Structure 1
C-alpha cells in the first residue's frame, strides 16, 4: 500500500511539474526578402505555443553598431489540442486575423544528426507554399514547439531554413521556466477568417498596389515595374506566383 501511495505521489509530482513548466526559445530570424533584422521569441506550455517577431533597428557605425528592439510584432498562436493556429496579417493599413488547421507540413524524416545548443537534433524536409524547408529538431525537451507557422515534428525545432536561404530561424537561447499561467492568446476575442478568404483579400490588395505603381510609373514617364513575383515568403495559393493579369 505504501508503495502504491509513493508511486502516486511521484506521478502526481511529475504531472504537476509538466503543467507548470514553460519553454522559452529566442531565435535569430533572417528574412532575405526584407532588409531589416529580426528576432523571434517562442513560448510553449502544454499544447499551446505563442511566437512573435521583434524587429531590430540598427544605429551607429563600424564597431559602434547597436541594435534595439522596436514595438512592432507579428503574432501567431497555436493550439495543438484544437488542431488550429491563429495569426495576424497586415495588408497595407488593413489588419486580418487568420485561422488555419495544423496539418500543413508533410515532413520527410532524414537520418542526418546534428547538435545545436547542446541538444542532439534530427533533420527533416518539407515543401510548403513555394519553398522547401529543412528543419533541425530535438526530442530531448519535454515540449512540441516551432516558430512561425512551422509544425508537425515530434519535438522542438531549433533551426529551420529554406533551401534557397531566404528564410532562416536559428535558436540562440533556450530556457525552461516555472510558470503557473497559461500561454497568452492575443486572438481569444477575435472572429478570424480562413486562409481562402485571406487569399481573396490579398489578391485584391496586390492588384490595387500594382495599379498604383503602374500609374506612378506612367506619370514619371518610366517603364512599369515587374509584378510577377510575390514579395512574401509564402506563395499565396491559388495564385500562380502573383501573375495577376486575369
Structure 2
C-alpha cells in the first residue's frame, strides 16, 4: 500500500510527459454518473458527463454531456476538434485549474446556488495492488475517505492526471469511482486522447466573476440556512417543518452536531416516538 497526497509536481510531471512542442494533448473522457439516494439503493439519478482535459494548460472541465459544450470527434482532423464554452448558469460545470491548485463549481443551499471554491489537495489516497482493465487501459485501485464516505477509485498512468467531479490527485486519470456504501458512482464509458494543433481557444473559468466560498465558508452558510429554514414561520403564524439534509455526496452538517436537530426531530415524530 502507498499513501500519496496530490502536489503541483504530480500534475506538471504529467504535462511534461504528454506535451509536444508543435501540438497540444487533448483528453476527453465520457462518464456515466449514477446516484442511489434512498435506503434501498435504487437509482434516483443518472446522467452522462464529459471530462475535457488540456494538461498542457493545466485546465480541465467536467460538465453534463447534454449541454453539448464539449466537441471532440475522432474523425475530424483539423485543429478545432476540441472546444468548450460556458453555457447558461453552468450548474453542472466543474472547472479545475491545476496550476493554481483550485477548482470551482456551483452548489445549492435550499435551492439557491453559490459558487464553491475548493482545493485539489483534499484527497489522501491509499494506493492498492489490485488492477483491472477499463476501456483497454490497465487501472490500479486506490481508496480514500472523503467528507463522509469511503471511496474506491481506479486510475491509469497511461493518461494524464485527472478525474471526474472533484476527484483527483492520483498519478494518472481516474476512470472509475465508487462509494463503498453504493450511494454514488462514476464510470468511464468512452475515451479520446490525441495530440491537436494548439490554435484553438483555451477554456476560461466561467466562475471568475462570481464571489466564491471556500469549503469551510460553504459548510457554515449551509448550516445557518438549514437552521433558519427549520424555524420558518409563515405570515399567518404557521410553523413549517423545513428539513435540510445534512449530507449529499459530501457531508455538510456533522452527524453529532447539536445546533441542527430538525431532521432528527422529524424522524423521531415519524417513528411515533415521544
CA distance in structure 1 between the aligned counterparts of 2:187 and 2:180, rounded to whole angstroms:
14
* 1:27-75 per-position Cα deviation (integer Å, ceiling 9, x unaligned): 000011272321221111122111124579xxxxxxxxxxxxxx87421
Instruction: Answer 1 or 2: which has greater helix percent.
Output: 1
Secondary structure, aligned partner of 1:15: coil
Runs of 4+ in 1 over 6 A off after TM superposition: none
Partner of 1:124: 142
1:196: which partner in 2? 216
In 2, Cα distance between the equivalents of 1:95 and 1:105? 25
CA deviation string 1:145-179 (max 9, x = no partner): 10111111010000100001101000010012536
CA distance 1:147–1:241, change in 2 (3 Å): farther
The residue matched to 2:251 in structure 1 has which SS? coil
Q: Within 1, Cα distance between the matches of 2:149 and 2:247?
A: 13
Which structure 1 residue ranges, 5 or more long, are not aligned?
1-10, 57-70
User: Greater CA deviation, 127-136 or 95-104?
Assistant: 95-104
Q: What is the aligned partner in structure 2 of residue 234 from structure 1? A: 250
Within the alignment, does 1:110 sit opposite 2:114 as a pair? no
Q: Does 1:96 align with 2:100?
A: no
Query: Which residue in 2 is equivalent to 1:8?
Result: none
Match of 2:156 in 1: 138
Q: Match of 2:31? A: 27
Q: TM-score, normalised by structure 1?
A: 0.74
Supply the distance in 2 between the matched residues of 1:41 and 1:202 (Cα, whole angstroms).
28
1:82 aligns to 2:100 (yes or no): yes
Using structure 2 for the length normalisation, give the TM-score.
Answer: 0.67
Change (3 A) 1:242 1:45: farther
How far 1:110 sits from its partner (Å)? 0.2
Separation in 1, partners of 2:108, 2:169 = 26
Report if aligned partners of 2:226, 2:244 keep a CA contact under 8 Å in 1.
Answer: no
Q: Does 1:52 align with 2:72?
A: no
Aligned partners of 1:240, 1:95: CA distance in 2, in Å? Answer: 24
Matched residue of 1:81: which SS? coil
Q: Any conservation in 1 of the 2:144–2:151 contact (CA below 8 Å)?
A: yes
Q: Distance in 2 between matches of 1:154 and 1:160?
A: 15
Query: How many Å apart are 1:219 and its aligned residue?
Result: 7.7
Q: Number of residues paired by the alignment? A: 212
- Shift of the 184–176 alpha-carbon distance from structure 1 to 2, 3 Å rule, reads farther
| Superposed CA offset, 1:121-146 (max 9, x none) | 001000001100100000112x2110
Aligned pair in 2 of structure 1 residues 109, 29: CA closer, same or farther (>3 Å)? same
